[in-house]
Amino acid sequence: MVVAVRDVHYAVDGRPIFAGVDLQARRGRITAIMGPSGTGKTTLLRLITAQIPADRGQVVVFGNDLARLKQQEIYGVRQRMGMLFQNGALLTDMSVFENVAFPVREHTDLPESLIRILVLTKLEAVGLRGAAYLMPSELSGGMARRVALARAIVMDPELLIYDEPFVGLDPISMGVIQRLIKQMNTVLGITSIVVSHDVHELSAIADESYLLEAGRVSAGGKPQELLQSELPAVRQFMTGSAEGPVRFHYPASDYTEQLLASEAR
Amino acid sequence: MSNGNHRGFLLEGVRKFGASAIFLLQILGQCIPALGRPRLVVFQIYNTGARSLIIIMLAGLFVGMVLGLQGFTLLQRFGSEEALGSAAAIGLLKELGPVITALLFAGRAGTALTSEIGLMRATDQLVAMEIMAVDPLRYVVAPRFIGGIISMPLLAGIFSLVGLYGAQLVGVQLMGVDQGSFWSQMQSSLQLRDVTEGIVKSLVFGVTCSLIAVNEGYHAAPTAAGVGLATTRTVVASSVLTLLLDLILTAMFLK
């Protein structure tokens, strides 16, 4: 087990985000975490990467309970993982090459000639060796995400975390990213956690899926099992229906009353 | 303002001061590792110092020229125009140099630091560094803080030198003060402690303005409005604190 989230509770300003989440990511597998917008998928990733501590429960990564680790030990755990951010989060004052080389320069004393080979190899893997000397501002959204992927794998991590990797991509870029996630997993044997609400793209590559809803895991299992689930909330999400237990509207006062009210609010 | 509001305002002030002190300690803890990366520090000296040179030199020239004009007019009333050199030197080295440089530094370099770090926060670049097990305090904040502290006294020194040239330009070249008297009076009346006072002030202002700039940027809300607000706060807080600290330091040096 690479990641284990056990009975995690987390609240922001008294508003509960998680009320007992349990899930696991097994070694060498692709684990999908799905759920409607606002269910805390990105927050869950922040818990797994030790950016925020859980209020209650345990987050265990590589056998380490994150709550018990000191800052330096957390950095040690993070050196074994890579993360692909939704917007790429490339360092804007560095070229594509320097962005990918950044973690290598920070954590190793490798000679420049070796760093060059390493970076070009990773850029070739994501099809962007030709863009090595472009600046991030010159890249499209899909290219930026592929550069970020090259940077995430340059240190050969054991765990790769993808935050909404398909958002805002054209079908070609989406297909390329989808294939890259699968390749990283099958060729390099990297354990992957993919957070997304793109059901079909994710179901095609995931080994295990979890559906987050109302602060808990409402369903878990193989993607096919989730697609065939009879649970109303799972069915609603997997088929993209507006009708069902998952509310589309944010809680509000009566519509007519508010329209007819004299006050601005 | 009611008592409750007074208390809330005071508590918020104490909380902010405490948070800034803790942040300063965290940065200081990262300063030695950051000094091990001289390339980053040198780039920040260039970024905050060299890139502020034109505005500092222009301001120094104009302030020196105004000082020459005003000083000459005042001293002429007492028939002691020759003392213009020492008046300008003491005024520039002890007061105007450090204070105006700090105000300009806050407006030019401080705002640039805050908005740069704030935008890095808003675009997840700082979080990305943390995930890559690189401490942004060491890689981003500490080099900028050190760069600011080194740049400030250098800029204040350049401001004072250019200011003296401006005062000489007006006093000697335009108003006809004797050149020999201008420089010799300056040389005889100026003491080492006057220069020391200016250096100490510019160092203190350098620490203050740099700390405020990096602190505001690092803790800016990750939105466009948040970065804008943090930048404004940098200018306001740096300016007010510079003037307050100037008062305190001047009183201390007079003792």
In a shared domain, residues A121 and A194:
no
Query: Given strand A191-195, what is the order of strands in its sheet?
Result: A81-84, A159-163, A191-195, A30-34, A208-213, A216-221
A262 and A197 in one domain?
yes
Nearest CB to B128; choose among A81, A85, A106: A85
Same domain, A191 and A260: yes
Query: In the predicted model, what is the mean pLDDT of residues A102-107?
Result: 94
Alpha carbons A219 and A152: distance in angstroms, whole number: 29
pLDDT of residue B169: 94
Decide the pairing of beta strands A216-221 and A208-213.
Answer: antiparallel
Looking at residue A235, what is its pLDDT? Answer: 76
The H or E element that residue B17 is part of is helix B3-35
Is residue A92 over pLDDT 70?
yes
Calculate ∠ Cα A135-A139-A141, nearest 5°. 140
pLDDT of residue B37: 86
Residue B198 CA to residue B160 CA, distance in Å, equals 10
Residue from B121, B131, B138 whose CB has the most chain A CBs within 10 Å, to mutate: B131
Judge contact between B148 and B44, C-beta under 8 A: yes
Average pLDDT over residues A144-156: 91
pLDDT at residue A204 greater than cutoff 90? no
What pLDDT is stored for residue B80 in this prediction?
Answer: 85
**Which residues lie closer than 8 Å to A26 by C-beta, 6 or more apart?**
A1, A2, A191, A207, A208
pLDDT at position B90: 93
User: What pLDDT, on the 0 to 100 scale, is given for residue A42?
Assistant: 87
Predicted local distance difference test score (pLDDT) of residue A118: 95
Residue A101 lies in a domain: yes
Q: In this predicted structure, what is the pLDDT of residue B2?
A: 65
The nearest CA of chain B is from the CA of A135 a distance in Å of 15
* Chain B partners within 8 Å of A76 (Cβ): 133
Number of domains chain A contains: 2
Point out the residue among B124, B133, B135 whose CB comes nearest to the CB of A85.
B124
Alpha-carbon gap, residue B197 to B203, rounded angstroms: 10
Token pair of B5 as six digits: 């509001």
Residue at A181 is within a domain: no
Range from A179-193, A216-230, B36-50, B70-84 carrying the lowest mean pLDDT? A216-230
The mean per-residue pLDDT over the stretch A4-9 comes to 93
Q: How many residues does the structure list for chain A?
A: 265
SS3 A25: strand
Could you tell me which residues come within 8 angstroms of residue A5 by beta carbon, excluding any fewer than 6 positions away? A21, A22, A23, A24, A44, A47, A48, A57, A58, A59, A60
The two structure tokens encoding residue A86: 């939704």
What does the alpha-carbon distance between residue B28 and residue B23 come to, in Å, rounded to a whole number?
9
pLDDT for A168 beyond 80 = no
pLDDT at B119 over 90: yes
- Last residue of one domain, picked from the residues A156, A171, A196: A156
Chain A partners within 8 Å of B130 (Cβ): 51, 78
pLDDT, tens digit (0-9, with 9 covering 90-100), for B245-255: 999 999 999 87
* A129 is a domain residue: yes
Q: Would you state the pLDDT for residue A265?
A: 59
Spatial separation of the C-alpha atoms in residues A205 and A225, rounded to whole Å: 14
- Name which of A51, A89, A107 is nearest B133 (Cβ-Cβ): A107
Residue B60 pLDDT > 90, yes or no? yes
- State how far the Cα of B222 lies from the Cα of B233, in Å rounded to an integer: 15
Q: Do A195 and A245 share a domain, yes or no?
A: yes
On whether residue A230 sits in a domain, the answer given is: yes
Residue A175 lies in a domain: no
Q: Do A89 and B134 touch (CB under 8 A)?
A: no
Question: Mean pLDDT throughout B167-188?
Answer: 91
Q: CB distance B128–A89 less than 8 Å? A: yes
The residue of chain B nearest to residue A101, with distances taken between CA atoms, is B132
Predicted pLDDT of residue B12? 87
Asked if the Cβ–Cβ distance from A87 to B123 is below 8 Å, we say: yes
| Res. B1: pLDDT tops 70 | no
pLDDT single digits (tens) A9-36? 999 888 889 998 999 999 989 999 988 8
In degrees, to the nearest 5, what angle opens at C-alpha A27 toward C-alphas A25 and A33?
Answer: 25
Domain end point (choices A156, A172, A206): A156
Q: Are residues A216 and A234 in the same domain?
A: yes
- A107 and A60 within one domain: no
A122 shares a domain with A65:
no
DSSP A244: S
Query: How much of chain A, in percent, has pLDDT values that exceed 90?
Result: 49
Q: Give yes or no for residue B210 having a pLDDT over 90.
A: yes
Q: Which of A78, A92, A106 sits opposite B125 (nearest CB)?
A: A92
Average pLDDT, chain B: 92
Note whether A21 and A136 are same-domain residues. no
Confidence of residue A264 (pLDDT cuts 50, 70, 90): low
**Which long-range contacts (C-beta less than 8 Å, at least 24 apart) are formed by A71-80?**
A74/A50, A75/B133, A75/B135, A76/B133, A77/A50, A78/A49, A78/A50, A78/B130, A78/B131, A78/B132, A78/B133, A79/A107, A79/A155, A79/B133, A80/A157, A80/A158, A80/A159
Q: What is the pTM of this model?
A: 0.86
Would the CB atoms of A51 and B134 count as touching at under 8 Å?
no
Mean pLDDT value of segment A177-192: 87
Query: Which residues, 6 or more positions from B131, have their beta carbon under 8 angstroms from its beta carbon?
Result: A49, A51, A78, A81, A82, A83
Mean pLDDT of all residues in B160-184: 92
Residue A153, token pair as written in the block: 């794998």
Percent of chain B with pLDDT over 90: 78
DSSP for A127-159 reads: T-GGGTTS-GGGS-HHHHHHHHHHHHHTT--SE
CA A192 from chain center: how many Å? Answer: 9
Q: Are residues A200 and A138 in the same domain?
A: no
CATH number for the domain harbouring residue A246: 3.40.50.300
pLDDT at residue A224 is higher than 90:
no
B131 near A CB under 8 A: yes
Task: Give the distance, in angstroms, between the CA of residue B155 and the centroid of all CA atoms in the same chain.
Answer: 8
Q: What is the mean pLDDT of residues A55-72?
A: 92
Q: A165-179, A224-238, B186-200: which range is least confident on average?
A: A224-238
> Is A231 within a domain?
yes
Instruction: Indicate if the pLDDT at residue B201 is higher than 70.
Output: yes
Q: Exposed, middle or buried: residue A8 (CB in 10 Å: 0-12, 13-18, 19+)? A: buried
Q: Is residue A180 part of a domain?
A: no
Q: Is B132's Cβ below 8 Å from some Cβ in A?
A: yes
Average pLDDT for residues A65-81, to the nearest whole number? 92
What's the gap in Å between the CA of A178 and the closest CA on chain B?
22
Residues A204 and A260 in one domain: yes
Residue A139 above 80 pLDDT?
yes
For B130, nearest residue in chain A (alpha carbons):
A75
Give the confidence band of A250 by pLDDT, cuts at 50, 70, 90: confident
The amino acid present at B7, given as its one-letter code, is R
Q: Which of A124-128, A237-241, B65-69 has the highest mean pLDDT?
A: B65-69
| Range in A247-251, B50-54, B112-116 with the lowest mean pLDDT | A247-251
What is the extent of the structural domain holding A105?
A: 81-156
Q: Are A32 and A23 in contact (CB under 8 A)?
A: no
Whether A182 maps to a domain, the answer reads no
